[in-house]
Amino acid sequence: MWARRGHDAMDAAVSMPTGLAAQEEGYLRLQGVGKRFGSFSALSQIDLAIARGEFVCFLGPSGCGKTTLLRIIAGLETQTAGRILQAGRDISVLPPAQRDYGIVFQSYALFPNLSIADNVAYGLVNRRQPRAQVAARVDELLTLVGLPGSGAKYPAQMSGGQQQRVALARALATSPGLLLLDEPLSALDAIVRVHLRNEIRALQRKLGVTTIMVTHDQEEALSVADRIVVMNHGVIEQVGTPREVYRAPASPFVADFVGKVNRLQAVAEGDHWFRCGELRLRCDEGQGADFRPGRPVMLYLRPEDRLMIDVPDDHPGRCEGAVRHIEFLGGNCLAQVQVEALGGQSLQLQFSLNQMDEFSVREGARLHFALRTDRLRVFAAGQE
């Protein structure tokens, strides 16, 4: 389904503000959006502003509400509460055909009996444009998505990646103000998926079209988004740049879901100091609340946040442990290290293949290292 033509997405790319600027501009605004299916609440009090030209990813596990939210923006589902405004126009109750967007589905949704050219031109059939003009536009779009000269073929003659490019060209045919991508890469194999996501990001930057992509793939979201909206159980857990979401997760769920993380049981001692086994660690004031003394907490630390060389003897995070297991991940490895000073708790430490040799990381070896206490995040124990 394609909506009527909005601004010309083929204009030069616009700037893509992030953070507070993006919130203030608000090309697309969601205000108190909620959705119920009987007694089940799929979405609750969703407030979000997306800037013109921004690439935003809705990220979360299956069933978190991200696809439902995208369908509400598209008018394919009706919200039970709240409003949606696009470019200052209230589109809350408009049918899909009266909204300004193009959409790409996971399943491609191409018409098997139509040629590639006719599939791309489908959104233009009611424009009453001269046939030559439509053909020129189709050729332009197929070239844009890397499929020049493919107009005479049929979907069955194209690979999965090629079909998704056709679907993308079709969604862009009407020059929509908003591009919606519903897990467009999840049906593709890993190599094609990485290649195509980079192409989509480059194309989005070239066109400057405001884009929302739904995905459950954290790596995908981190690599392409200007901002990520992390969702869980129908609510927004955090909105931020990829770096903000990864480095400063706002909740234990975000810390666990985005990237790998170590969780260490500890007890608060006041003034941002925490006792973890034999170690006494201080968290930077911006990295967690100052819990009352005696409060059980969880310390969160990424596997790469460790020091291996030039560690002073008085470093508060200095410790050692035995390597129990190594997980090979290609260019990197994760070593599971049991640390006596942490009360026998285990850590995952990340090393490149070169570092594995440099630091003699192998099962059974003992490693001397220090925790990056400036990277610690702290949440209350039992918080989900």
Q: For the segment 178-229, what is each residue's pLDDT rounded down to a tens digit? A: 999 999 998 888 899 999 999 999 999 999 999 999 999 999 999 999 999 9
Q: Where are the domains of the chain?
A: 19-101+176-253, 260-380
Q: Do residues 179 and 123 touch, judged by C-beta distance below 8 A?
A: no
Q: HEC string of 323-372?
A: EEEEEECCCEEEEEEEEHHHCCCEEEEEEEHHHHHHCCCCCCCEEEEEEC
pLDDT value for 130: 84
Of the candidates 139, 165, 133, which has an alpha carbon nearest to the alpha carbon of residue 152? 139
pLDDT value for 82: 97
> Which of 119-133, 198-212, 306-320, 326-340 has the lowest average pLDDT?
119-133
Calpha distance 57→74 (Å, rounded): 15
Q: Do residues 376 and 284 touch, judged by C-beta distance below 8 A?
A: yes
Calpha distance 155→108 (Å, rounded): 10
Q: Three-class SS of residue 136?
A: helix
CATH code for the structural domain at 19-101+176-253: 3.40.50.300
Q: Do residues 53 and 13 touch, judged by C-beta distance below 8 A?
A: yes
Cα distances (Å, whole numbers) of residue 204 to 10, 42, 53, 146:
10, 30, 8, 14
Of the candidates 37, 80, 57, 90, which has an alpha carbon nearest to the alpha carbon of residue 210? 57
Please say whether the structural domain 260-380 has been given the CATH code 2.60.40.10. no
For residue range 350-378, what is the model confidence (pLDDT) as tens digits? 999 999 999 999 999 999 999 999 999 99
pLDDT value for 186: 87
Phi, psi for residue 157 in degrees, rounded to 5: -90, 0
Instruction: Tell me if the pTM is above 0.85.
Output: yes
Check residues 103 and 130 and name the one with the higher pLDDT.
103
Calpha distance 336→10 (Å, rounded): 50
For residue range 114-163, what is the model confidence (pLDDT) as tens digits? 999 999 998 887 677 788 899 999 999 999 999 999 999 999 999 999 99
